[in-house]
Amino acid sequence: MSLERYANLQPPFPPRLIPKEISLFNYRLVVENGTLFKAYGNSFIIAFFSVGLTLFTSLLGGYAFSKGEFYGKKALFFIVLSTMMVPLESRLIPMYMMFSSWNMANTFLPLILTMPQLGFYS
């Protein structure tokens, strides 16, 4: 358990649900030595911008398909629906190669741009 100081050295036998001595030592180690806050910040940045981009593009696309009258509306709608049916696994390597060729590997931008495509918000 995370509240036991020496849980990794010698786990108690039989295992206990509530430790004898509660210690916040492990949490202090994570905060002082780890990059926990940086990881939370990175996750917040990616989630905030990808949700914002998804919301913006979905609103525009949904309004255009529901209220707009334009040439090729049904064909474009069919293309959009058919791209949603392509499995995620078949898109991962080409997307990685594309972003890598654009020198965007190891940045937040590919994660933000592809989050709606990967289907995490559907």
| Tokens 């036991």 sit on residue | 4
Same domain, 106 and 93: yes
- Residue 11 belongs to domain spanning: 1-34
pLDDT attached to residue 121: 47
Same domain, 56 and 102: yes
Does 72 reside within a domain? yes
- What is the spatial distance between Cα 101 and Cα 104, in angstroms, rounded to a whole number? 8
- What is the spatial distance between Cα 40 and Cα 44, in angstroms, rounded to a whole number? 6
- What is the spatial distance between Cα 116 and Cα 58, in angstroms, rounded to a whole number? 9
Mean pLDDT of 51-68: 89
- Please indicate, yes or no, whether the overall pTM of this predicted structure exceeds 0.75: no
Let me know: does 46 contact 112? Beta carbons within 8 Å: yes
Mean residue pLDDT of the chain comes to 83
| Tokens 């090729």 sit on residue | 72
Does 120 reside within a domain? no
Same domain, 49 and 91: yes
